[in-house]
Amino acid sequence: MKASLTVILDTINDHPDLPHLSRSDYYTLQKVGKDTKNEKLMNRIRELFEEHHARYGYRRITLQLKREGVVVNHKKIQRLITIMSLVVLHNRKRAKYSSYQGTIGVIKKNKIKQSFHSEHPDQK
């Protein structure tokens, strides 16, 4: 016989020895063991992560698993990586943007023979 959730919660909450359990707490407790069935997948993710020296993020791990024939959503991989506390190393530094091109071509001095030297102010 299957009991309803209301009956279960009322029974638990009627006992003073047991802590109070709300409906939302009950559903939250149902999700606690959610990722225990993914142990095999979590082990493979950890192997790939360590094999590539912590440089593979969830995107690359997802692609590698798909190449191996494991069909899994990238969001699940991301969630499992977060649960396992795996942090990706980012060793590449971005080059600072510089628009300076250097000296291209020949710099010609005083091409028109202009004279910018004056003896007194306001002559030129």
Same domain as 39, residue 82: yes
What is the residue whose two structure tokens read 């530094």? 93
111 is a domain residue: no
pLDDT band at 110 (very low <50, low <70, confident <90, very high): low
The residue segments making up the domain with residue 84 are: 34-91
Tell me: the pLDDT tens digits for 79-92? 999 989 999 887 67
Question: Which has the minimum average pLDDT: 4-13, 26-35, 66-75?
Answer: 26-35
When comparing pLDDT for 4 and 40, which is higher? 40
**Are residues 51 and 73 located together in one domain of the fold?**
yes
22 has a pLDDT exceeding 90: no
Q: How many domains does the chain have?
A: 2
The pLDDT tens digits for 56-74 are: 999 999 999 999 999 999 9
Decide if 120 contacts 89 (C-beta within 8 A). no
Nearest Cα neighbor of 38 from 82, 90, 87 is 82
Whether residues 24 and 48 fall in one domain: no
